[in-house]
Amino acid sequence: LRRHARVDRPRRVVLLVDVSGSMAPYADALLRFAHAAARGGRTEVFTIGTRLTRVTRELSPRDPDLAMAAVAAAVPDWRGGTRLGELLREFLNRWGQRGMARGAIVVLLSDGWERDDPALLGAQMRRLHALAHRVVWANPRKARPGYTPTAAGMAAALPSVDAFMEGHSLAALERLAAVVRGADTVAVPEAGAER
């Protein structure tokens, strides 16, 4: 029997960044985090609010201020409401099921406030969890003393979340990056290796 040569390849990372009104105090810092993550390659970034907007290309400039200006021009729904369930369904139907979420680490950066039916968010999170390697949710409000996930959207999403983390500070984002890094490789057969 021939031995199988395997190599480690980084997993795709997908970041879904909430830019709704309730996330306004955190959106800039989270998008700068996304900019740094996207610079490493194999990372896709979307904003969510009342619309789903793919901003990976806008985050490509090396200069973070230029990247933030490009994102600001591309995102039409800053500080609007939040339609997490509907937008997650749109992401899964348009990009996720076709391969972007399959085997990926998907990170939602949101407070979990949902304007629509939380049951829809719960159903879409189950779909996402079935496709992704790992689902991570970073919620800036989790850092508050006495926080409990009572927002209907957050409560509906949690059963399908592999890691629930804070997302309110630089230290919290560093911990988030460490969690993503810890799950970000997959062994694949080397070219020409027998399966």
Among 183, 181, 187, 138, CA closest to 37: 181
On whether residue 151 sits in a domain, the answer given is: yes
- Tell me the CATH number at 140: 3.40.50.410
pLDDT at 193: 40
Q: How far is CA 27 from CA 62, 71, 80, 125, in A?
A: 19, 11, 12, 22
Residues 24-41 have pLDDT tens digits of 999 999 999 999 999 878
Residue 43 in 3-state DSSP?
A: strand
pLDDT at 190: 44
Find the length of the chain.
195
The conformation of residue 153, written as its DSSP 8-state character, comes to H
On whether residue 131 sits in a domain, the answer given is: yes
Residue 106 in 3-state DSSP?
A: strand
Q: Which domain holds residue 87?
A: 12-184
CB 134 within 8 A of CB 14: no
Residues 128-155 have pLDDT tens digits of 999 999 999 999 999 999 999 888 899 9
The conformation of residue 11, written as its DSSP 8-state character, comes to P
Residue 54 CB neighbour total at 10 angstroms: 15
pLDDT for residue 170 is more than 70: yes
On whether residue 193 sits in a domain, the answer given is: no
Pull the structure tokens for residue 112. 């979990």
**Number of domains the chain contains:** 1
What pTM was estimated for this model as a whole? 0.88
